[in-house]
Amino acid sequence: MIRNILSVASNQDVAYQITDNGGKSTGIFIVNADDPGAMLFWNEYQQDALEANSILASVSPMLESEHVCIKRPLIASQLHGALTLGSAWAAPKQQRPDIILQRSDILRKCFLFRNFSPGHVETIVAMSRIVTLPGNYVVFEKGSNGDEMLIVLHGRLKVSVADGDGKEVVLGTVGPGDIAGEIAMLDGRGRSATVTTLAPSELLVIHRKDFMPFLEQNPKVAIDLIMVLALRLRLNTEQLAELLDR
């Protein structure tokens, strides 16, 4: 059965049947990736429905996404092409070795995890989950509770704060392989900045309740993490000193 999640309010079944490579009937969700409400619903739903198959429809589709993506508005030829990619649903995405390897490769390139062993990286991948968000979506705001850190798989995020007059000051952008939200996740305090998606984005989410016990059980990893954070603090201090000297 093909189901549209074009909006949470107008979720309707469509009378089409599709079979997988083994001839077994399977379900597919067509999700409006530009609708924040639809994406929030989908991100929650797929955590419980691990074998759920999806097609993300967006004005700016993520061509490198692990999901099948097509461009909105939907036209018959696009939908036909997406549905003929039966191999994309041969196995649950969370269990596909190529997806696990891709996430592990991205984590190993992150400054935070660059000293971690392959086994530890795989453990972190296993405790993570994927969230897909539309463009121009506020992921979190400065001062809000921060229990999760985000690794960008696809897309781009803007990091910003408000000045004394309430005007936005952009601190920078983060793209594939970059991390956001790690400060609040590690110290358990509020967010230090606001993060907004600049384009449809896929994020690897790691929760504090999973990550902190992992550090407690692996003291060597915790030491490596402290060294990396100390190095980043040193570099930031040096950059600030250079700005003040100008």
Q: What is the pLDDT of residue 216?
A: 93
For 12-62, give the DSSP string: EEES--EE-TTS-EE-EEEEETT-HHHHHHHHHHHHH-TT-EEEEEESS--
Residue 91 Cα to chain centre, angstroms: 21
Pick 231 or 13 by higher pLDDT: 231
Strands 2-5 and 28-32: parallel
- The set of residues, in sequence order, having a beta carbon less than 8 Å from that of 21 and lying 6+ positions away, is 86, 87, 90
Domains of the chain, CATH where assigned: 2-92 (no CATH), 96-245 (2.60.120.10)
Q: 151 or 40: which carries more pLDDT confidence? A: 151
Amino acid identity, residue 246?
R
For 202, the 3-state DSSP assignment is strand
- Inform me whether the pLDDT recorded for 153 exceeds 80: yes
List the single range of 83-97, 123-137, 150-164, 184-198 with lowest mean pLDDT: 83-97
Q: What is the pLDDT of residues 33-55, one digit of tens each?
A: 777 777 777 677 666 665 566 67
Q: Which residue has the tokens 């995405």?
A: 93
Q: Is the pLDDT of residue 1 over 60?
A: no
**DSSP tally for the chain: helices H, then strands E:** 7, 15
Question: In whole angstroms, what is the distance from residue 197 CA to residue 206 CA?
Answer: 18
- pLDDT tens per residue across span 97-106: 666 777 888 8
* pLDDT attached to residue 29: 67
The pLDDT of residue 187 is 87
Most confident segment among 4-13, 50-59, 73-82, 160-169: 160-169
Supply 183's token pair: 């400060």
Please tell me the predicted confidence (pLDDT) of residue 236: 76
pLDDT in tens, 197-238: 998 888 999 999 999 999 999 998 888 888 888 887 888 788
Residues 6+ apart with CB under 8 A from 66: 93, 99, 102, 130, 153, 202
Determine the residue type at 117: S
- pLDDT band per the 50, 70, 90 thresholds, residue 71: low
User: Looking at residue 132, what DSSP letter applies?
Assistant: E
pLDDT higher than threshold 80 for residue 20: no
Residue 3 burial (CB < 10 Å; 0-12/13-18/19+)? middle
